Amino acid sequence: MSTSSNLMLLIVLCLTLISCGDNTPPETENTKENAITHPSDLMPSIDQWGILLGNGESIKDLAGFSHEDYFYHVNDGTDWVVYKTPNGGVTSPNSHNTRTELGQKKANRWVPETGGKLTGTLKVTHVSTSGDARVAASFSVVVGQIHSDSGHENEPLKIFYKKFPGHAKGSVFWNYEINTAGDDNAGRWDFSTAVWGYDMAKIGADSTDFPAEPEDGIELGEEFSYEVNVYKGIMYLTFTSDGHATKEFTKDLTASDYVNKSDLPQQVITQFVSIGQDGTERPEAYAGETQFFKQGAYNQTNGRSPSTNMVWSTGGNTYDGNLEKQYANGDYAEVWFREFSVGPGVAPR
């Protein structure tokens, strides 16, 4: 074979090899598969948490776990963890309300004197549209908690979002529940503090009467953030949201403000004393008691008759627990988180 023929054969062979090679186009942002498929892909310190779902199922290992009805990942241009739960489902033993909510495992629990820190950036995308406007808990969801694991197992902190039907804007507020003095916890009550909009005590005059929409409220789908920092017995709370004033609060968890009947705030007298809850708090409040954080969607609307408790029994629709009907008719709570952290308490800024 001539030299020119050999050269031509070599060129053809090279072109053939190139054409048979990897023809995969360069990877772009549009073609790249999102690597995040489960909530745990977004969640730092995943080993600290377990979760209770709205169907009563308790999951201890969240790595790679999701549930299409209650706990899953979405991307709308941003990655989110979704917590969703109906008005009527399977509840924990000491509650009448359903939840899809994280809880710190026992190995990670703490006392106020050593402290802990929880942060979250979230948007509430739905609260129940049924309920009784006279009942303070109606149309609300708790998106973060401190819960005691000792004594009466009360809650020194619950962070709420609440929006009345027909309003564009809702309220963010936080509640402190007393650590009731003595062995009888029946007299316990919450004191509520407004962040943006109203506190919990703002209710309607009748079951379908809604107060005026709060001027400085937070809309459904509007982001806000909270930081809960307990350090040397003091709880430091910081709330931020674009377009809203930053709000900061402090509360001593180791010394009570409510030791005597005369210490009861007027809000409590109006809201709780009228239903027989008029307890006082032990002087040391939650000092020395084991605490843990909770985060997610703890739906405060339930199907119980308001006649049983005009603060917590909201009379919402539950369709005998039918999940599909509740989701279709707006009888659920849904919360999306995009950032979260949990760890030890730190010295305040």
End-to-end Cα spacing for the chain: 85
Distance CA 334, CA 284 (A): 36
The full set of domain ranges for the chain reads 85-343
Read off φ and ψ for residue 298, nearest 5 degrees: -105, 95
Per-residue H/E/C for the chain: CCHHHHHHHHHHHHHHHHHCCCCCCCCCCCCCCCCCCCHHHCCCCHHHEEEECCCCCEECCCCCCCECCCEEEEECCCEEEEEEEECCCCCCCCCCCCEEEEEECHHHCECCCCCEEEEEEEEEEECCCCCCCCCCCCCEEEEEEEEECCCCCCCCEEEEEECCCCCCEEEEEEEEECCECCCCCCCCCEEEEEEECCCCCCCCCCCCCCCCCCCCCEECCCCEEEEEEEECCEEEEEEECCCCCCEEEEEECCCCCCCCHHHCCHHHHHHCHHHCCCCCECCCCCCCCCEEEEEEEEECCCCCCHHHCCCCCCCCCCHHHCHHHHHHHCCEEEEEEEEEEEECCCCCC
Which residues contact residue 285 at a Cβ distance below 8 angstroms, ignoring those fewer than 6 apart?
A: 156, 178, 179, 252, 253, 254, 255, 256
Dist. CA 196–CA 172, nearest whole Å: 5
How confident is the model over 157-188, as pLDDT tens digits?
Answer: 999 999 999 999 999 999 999 999 999 999 99
For residues 124 and 143, the answer to whether their CB atoms sit within 8 Å is yes
Residue 93: its pLDDT value, please?
85
pLDDT of residue 34: 56
**Topology of domain 85-343, CATH:** Jelly Rolls (2.60.120)
Residues in the chain with pLDDT < 50? 1-25, 27-33
CA–CA distances in Å: residue 343 to residues 107, 109, 117, 340:
13, 10, 5, 11
Whether the CB-CB separation of 152 and 146 falls below 8 Å is answered with no
Contacts of 287 (CB under 8 A, 6+ apart): 111, 112, 113, 233, 253, 254, 255
Q: What is the pLDDT of residue 196?
A: 98
Other beta carbons within 10 angstroms of residue 96's beta carbon come to 17
In the chain, the amino acid numbered 202 is K
Q: What is the pTM (predicted TM-score) of this model?
A: 0.91
pLDDT the model gives residue 94: 83
Is the CB of residue 161 less than 8 Å from the CB of residue 171?
A: yes
The strand pairing partners of 334, in sequence order, are 84, 126
CB 121 within 8 A of CB 223: yes
